[in-house]
């Protein structure tokens, strides 16, 4: 018999190779699946994105400015109450389709303000 340490190492290497092969086969399957179903997949993704955006706008329409009470989904901004490096731009999260992250950010750290009140508030900060 050979060196048991060497045999153990060879076994570990063989297991790693097997894992790599399985991963490559999975990737190839996914590539083939996508090639075959790309249009259906894209249409489904578009529909989901559209539905989620509509839900977002519907929710936003229920909000009103905490300063003046104005309410319109196109005019509502989210103002971070505290300046903090961990604050995340809500508009960017929404653009990226990350609605849950955006909602969490708003619930924890923001107040709704209309665009005018938001601008005025920041204008006062630099005065």
* Residue 79 backbone dihedrals phi, psi, to 5 degrees: -100, 125
Our CB check for Zn ion shows the closer of 69 and 85 to be 69
Residue 68 interacts with Zn ion (CB under 5 A)? Answer: yes
Q: Is 67 in the site for Zn ion (CB under 5 A)?
A: yes
Query: Which residues fall within 8 angstroms of residue 82, CB to CB, at 6 or more apart?
Result: 109
CB of 105 or CB of 118, closer to Zn ion: 118
Residue 13 or 68 with smaller CB distance to Zn ion? 68
90: burial class by Cβ within 10 Å (0-12, 13-18, 19+)?
A: buried
Residues that bind Zn ion (CB under 5 A): 65, 67-68, 70, 114, 117
């Amino acid at each position: 018999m050979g060196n048991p340490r060497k045999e153990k190492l060879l076994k570990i290497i063989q297991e790693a190779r097997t894992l790599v092969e399985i991963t490559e086969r999975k990737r190839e399957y996914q590539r083939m699946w996508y090639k075959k179903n790309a249009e259906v997949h894209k249409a489904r993704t578009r529909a989901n994105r559209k539905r989620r955006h509509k839900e977002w706008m519907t929710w936003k329409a229920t909000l009103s400015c905490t300063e003046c009470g104005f309410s319109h989904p196109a005019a509502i901004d989210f103002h971070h109450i505290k300046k903090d490096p961990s604050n995340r731009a809500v508009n960017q999260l929404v653009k990226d389709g990350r609605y849950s992250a955006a909602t969490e950010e708003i619930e924890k750290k923001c107040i709704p303000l209309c665009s005018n009140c938001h601008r005025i508030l920041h204008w006062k900060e630099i005065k």
